[in-house]
Amino acid sequence: MVQIKISEKKRAVIATDMIGLFFEDINYAADGGLYAEMLENKSFEFLDAYGDKGDYYCIYDGGYGWKPYPVKAKADMLYVTGSPVAEENPHYLRFVAREDHCGFSNQAYEGIVLEKEKKYKVSFYARSVQYHASVTVAIKKDEITYASSQVVLKSGEAQQKKSWNKYELELTANADIEGALFVITLEKSGIVEFDFISMIPSNAVAGIFRNDIFEMLQALKPGFIRFPGGCIVEGNTLSNRYRYKDTLKPIEQRKNNWNRWAVHGNEEANQYHSRFSHYNQSLGIGYYEYFLLCELLGAKPLPVLHVGLACQYQSFELVEPETEEFMEYIQDALDLIEFANGDVTTQYGALRAKMGHKQPFGLELIGIGNEQWETDQSRFFERYIILEKAIHECNPSIQLIGSAGPDITSDKYHKAWEFYHKESLKKNNFVYAVDEHYYVNPQWFYENTDFYDNYDRNVKVFAGEYAAHPKKLELSQKNTLGGALSEAAFLTGIERNADVVVLASYAPLLAREGYAQWAPDMIWFDAAKVYATPSYYVQMLYSKYKGSVTLDTLEGQKALIKNNIYYNIVQNENTGDIYVKIVNANEETVTVELVHEAGEEIHISEIVYIGDKDKDSCNSLKEPFAISPSQQIPKQRVNQVTLKKNSFTVLTMKRS
């Protein structure tokens, strides 16, 4: 039996927003994921990405995802420029039908999924060149129609020369179907031009976010969301970087960009051309939508700024500090704060209001760079100093997040901390917290639950990207119970050191089955379903039972670690409830007794746990709840509990 003696002594205050989310458009997390758009390449702007470090290039492939329908239809699909809907996305489809009842289809990733009686909103721009009839929008599989609607196009004579018309209609599914095609068919022969063809479920949250994924995020009750990355911020080239101002335009004017993860896995063996080469960014979820997502989830926004450095792993490109070109990055930072917090009399505050949000978003946190580190070439520290000065001269209350680099073991990490400690002695608000990243094997997490015990408390920590990486071949099998338990054990140390670790987020957040470049990931999905991983449930339980202060224990942590037991104790000062989060990393059950230091009687009122399976177990689309929380309410007053093997348990205790 293991005995835990609970002390009245309060160790550290836990930040209310401590457990949050990190969102990056990796693994088709945005387009094809959280963004509810069901079609691929809706604007005929897709790029096919090639290359390796220092040598990236793209080939225009505007027809990606689109085909004639039927396949042998007598029709031409021409991807042209000339007079587009928006200059930022200059290509559009010129469809030449040389017979009646022919059209074109979109593959929609692995195919359209419909739910019976559910409604879907379809919109598109069209221009009749030589056409005087209707078009039909339908969802088809094996020549069977599962939803359809028709609209009559304005004829070329009835509209101004070269003008576009936007058409909107609604589809209602007559049956459940997966793997279907989105099809537009012309009733008669003729020529019609199309652009920005969209299909979004009517239940999309705010008309933007895929409902089932949103609900998964909502259940986590995140304190903050860090976005848009990650390496996405930096880009593999400077031209490929995330330009947030591009996303503040109407959807048609958001310039399509290739995704830096499109070249992940490129090597000589595959001619530097991966199977993800068509991974693009439509920017349907832009900065306005990110801020809106934060608001809907009750989370603080934490946008990450570009600092004039393309990804240091993947590129040599940079903009030198204190140059005219670098001023653009400084101004972007100031304009971002104005967009989030400015009133409607300011330029960017007025833009926010025009987009639909008159009230400020209340931005408090900004990340300066992603995984940047200091070299003679990067001069990252100099960049940080310049940006910090510019931001705080105009907005002294903004809290800045620095970068400790890509790991927590190398000289990059040690140099970063020397820099932040030294500069913070000169200026109190120089940095709020330093962003640390670690993707490590589960054993490292177990061996380093005391990692933050001896950290200097003067500069805070943001555990911005972390995950246990068990050795597994299949990507979707990497989210094992064993990995999640090691993360839960490590979080006991993070929570115990809440006076120095103020923010923490698992990474990455989302992954689409069959489209993942990286694993493990917290939430997996396909076109029809979504499921949580054991790591998701660890995060959910830490968030739900966070408490407001950590409590000491009279039993030493080290003694318990020898028994493969890891725990932390917190209290909700509003209710008086005490939560013990405890990991049993053993292959057999372990009995734990809870005792109060003053001898007061305490009893366990709720037991919630995940586990009691092999450490290699994981959830899947076929078995989404193989590992999920179980709850027990003791029928009598008890202060003992038998922990399941390989389990993470949260005990709620009430004092008599």
Active-site residue list: 371
Rounding to the nearest 10 degrees, give the CA dihedral for residues 599, 604, 609, 613: 70
Question: How many angstroms separate the CA atoms of 333 and 574, rounded?
Answer: 38
Torsion of CA 457, 463, 464, 467, to 10 degrees: 170
Q: Is 478 left (phi over 0), alpha (psi -120 to 50) or beta?
A: alpha
Q: How many H-runs (helices) and E-runs (strands) does the chain carry?
A: 11, 35
> CA-to-CA distance for 521 and 259, rounded, in angstroms?
18
Q: CB-based burial of residue 293 (10 Å sphere; 0-12 exposed, 13-18 middle, 19+ buried)? A: buried
Q: Are 595 and 3 in contact (CB under 8 A)?
A: yes
Count Cβ atoms below 10 Å from residue 268 Cβ, excluding itself: 7
How far apart CA 320 and CA 329 sit, in angstroms, is 11
Q: What is the full DSSP assignment across 515-549?
A: --SS---SEEE-SS-EEE-HHHHHHHHHHHT--SE
CB neighbour class for 622 (10 Å; exposed up to 12, middle 13-18, buried from 19): exposed
Which helix (DSSP H) or strand (DSSP E) does residue 296 occupy?
Answer: helix 287-297
What span, in angstroms and rounded, lies between the C-alpha atoms of 484 and 607? 18
- HSE-CB of 3 using CA atoms within 13 angstroms: 7
The distance from CA 542 to its chain's CA centroid, rounded to whole angstroms, is: 19
Q: Is 298 exposed, middle or buried (0-12, 13-18, 19+ CB in 10 A)?
A: exposed
Measuring CA to CA, which residue among 467, 505, 543 is closest to residue 220?
543
In terms of C-beta density within 10 A (0-12 exposed, 13-18 middle, 19 or more buried), how is residue 2 classed? Answer: middle
Strand order in the sheet with 92-97: 75-80, 92-97, 190-201, 119-130, 165-172
- Three-state DSSP class for 205? strand
Taken in order 192, 195, 201, 207, is the CA torsion positive or negative? negative
| Dihedral sign (CA 457, 459, 463, 468) | negative
Distance CA 321, CA 308 (A): 8
Report how far residue 25's alpha carbon sits from residue 507's, in angstroms, rounded to the nearest whole number. Answer: 12
* 506, 542 contact by CB (below 8 A): no
Look at phi and psi of residue 393 and say left if phi exceeds 0, alpha if psi is from -120 to 50, else beta. alpha
